[in-house]
Amino acid sequence: MSVVPERMLSVEEALERVLSLVRPLPLEEAPILEALDRVLGEDIVADIDIPPFQNSAMDGYAVRSEDVREASPASPVRLRVIGNLAAGQAPDMEVLPGTAVRIMTGAPIPPGADAVVRFEDTDEGRTLEGNLHAGVHTGEVLIMRPAAPHENVRDAGEDVRRGERVLAAGTVLRPAEVGLLASLGHPTVRVHRRPRVAILATGDELVDITEPLGPGKIRNSNEYSNAALVLKYGGVPVRLGIARDSVADLTAKIQAGLAQQVDLFITSAGVSVGDYDVVKDVLHQMGRIHFWQVCMKPGKPLAVGLIDGVPLIGLPGNPVSSMISFEQFVRPAMRVMQGRRTWRRQRIQVVVDEDIKNTSGRRHFIRAVVTRMGEQYYARTTGDQGSGILTSMVKANALLIIPETQRLVRKGELVDAEMLDWPEVE
Ligand code: AMP
Ligand code: MG
């Protein structure tokens, strides 16, 4: 069977059509550490104050500020030490005029005290010597500096107020948010499910990475770069191995993938124009799949559609085409499925260090190393831009975007670059 390609789609049209097939996945309850980098599906309202009680911000002495108003190194104020409070202890004493409590950071401020004088501003050596270790504090301390009311005191609720909405649905959880959830006593939280992504390599020439390379064979690298990309962008790879270019094997492997409750199906190779038609035939028979020509280089052929209701993206086989098509289409789809609103690459303008030709008439994604010097970013290409040169992806930290209509970018001119390792934006 031959499939007549539709007219060439722009990258934007292709992306729009891909995204029309996906939507945010349902929420699930996940332990907070497994919620890292995922999107919160509920508002979080604090049901306690943080900190829960007034406590000391310093190691020192809890005092009545009015007692030490006149304190100075020349004329220290002498206070009787009536007790000791470590973090975690509850006060069982009251600071009356002329007394102080030795207190550690995080310990509750005892009743009567309204300020903490740091150890550095006291002299406890002469008076407390000998009884500190015994835990009996009947000695005295010399206060060398005044403490303003409230000095070194942290108030209950100064971080978070009970009743306050601290995190909004839609927030991407970073380590700080995980810590906040822990401080509020949430062992689990509702987040969007991670997409389970089936990955199927196709081709008679492929051998698995542990197999010897026979004549005419190459290793199945796409399965691994695709699985690594799925992991990197928050999905769960479901690896299906290699399907041979036969109707029976392809059908069986696709069915095996669909049986594993996947949210997205990725195939590799067999979608280009000159290909032996088996992959296209099988995809065509099993689902509503379109075979597109996208106006980009590398990565012109792309198959997109639904198979058993599951969105499928058929990536081209060449290792670089596969990775760039993943970057342009699969990554955004996966981000949307995770409930992320931020999935666009940051684009910056860079000065090119050499002439770059684009005779393809398509949008050319040039692998490049972008570095910053002062206020300006500069790009040099990674060398050979062939779609099989996987080391060009190894070297690159950016894709230069040479427009479809531009045949030449001269050394010193500006072009747009998509930064591959920068956080995605809205
Ligand atoms: P195709 O799209 O089937 O025409 O494949 C294009 C090129 O990609 C060929 O040189 C294939 O050998 C190569 N290729 C296909 N699948 C893989 C794979 N899983 N890993 C590495 N290279 C591949
Ligand atoms: Mg092939």
State the pTM of this model. 0.93
Quickly count: other Cβ atoms within 10 Å of residue 268's Cβ: 30
Burial track 100-112 (b if 16+ CB lie within 10 A, e otherwise): bbbbbebbbbbeb
Instruction: Say yes or no to pLDDT of 147 above 50.
Output: yes
Give the pLDDT confidence of 350-363 residue by residue, as tens digits. Answer: 999 999 999 999 99
Residue 339: per-residue pLDDT: 98
Q: What is the distance between the alpha carbons of residues 33 and 179, in angstroms, rounded to a whole number? A: 9
Q: What is the distance between the alpha carbons of residues 340 and 125, in angstroms, rounded to a whole number? A: 58
Give the pLDDT confidence of 274-333 residue by residue, as tens digits. Answer: 766 799 999 999 999 999 999 999 999 999 999 999 999 999 999 999 999 999 999 999
If you take atom 5 of ligand 1, which residue's CA is the nearest one? Answer: 317
Closest ligand to C-alpha of residue 225 is 1
Helix (H) or strand (E) holding 283, with range, is helix 278-286
**72 CB-near residues (< 8 Å, 6+ apart):** 144, 145, 146
If you take atom 23 of ligand 1, which residue's CA is the nearest one? Answer: 317
User: What is the chain's mean pLDDT, rounded?
Assistant: 95
Residue 129: per-residue pLDDT: 53
Mean pLDDT of 234-242: 98
Which ligand 1 atom lies nearest to the CA of residue 275?
4
Strand 153-154 with 55-56, pairing: antiparallel
Give the pLDDT confidence of 88-140 residue by residue, as tens digits. Answer: 999 999 999 999 999 999 999 999 999 999 999 999 865 555 555 444 455 89
Strand 376-381 with 347-352, pairing: parallel
Q: Could you tell me which of 293, 279, 234 has the C-alpha nearest to residue 25?
A: 234
Q: Residue 62 in contact with residue 110, Cβ under 8 Å? A: yes
Residue 169: per-residue pLDDT: 98
Residues with CB under 6 A from ligand 1: 201, 203, 205-206, 218, 220-223, 268-270, 272, 275, 316-319
Mean pLDDT of 370-376: 98
* pLDDT grade for 2, boundaries at 50, 70 and 90: very low
DSSP state of 246: S
Q: What is the distance between the alpha carbons of residues 87 and 90, in angstroms, rounded to a whole number? A: 9
The partner residues of 196 in beta bridges, in order of sequence, read 236
DSSP string, 63-101: E-GGGGTT--SSSPEEEEEEEEE-TTPPP-----TTEEE
Ligand 1 centroid – CA 279 distance (Å):
12
Residue 10: per-residue pLDDT: 98
**344 CB-near residues (< 8 Å, 6+ apart):** 332, 424, 425, 426
Mean pLDDT of 165-183: 98
Q: Residue 123 has which token pair?
A: 């002299």
Instruction: Say yes or no to pLDDT of 343 above 50.
Output: yes
Q: What is the distance between the alpha carbons of residues 147 and 131, in angstroms, rounded to a whole number? A: 25
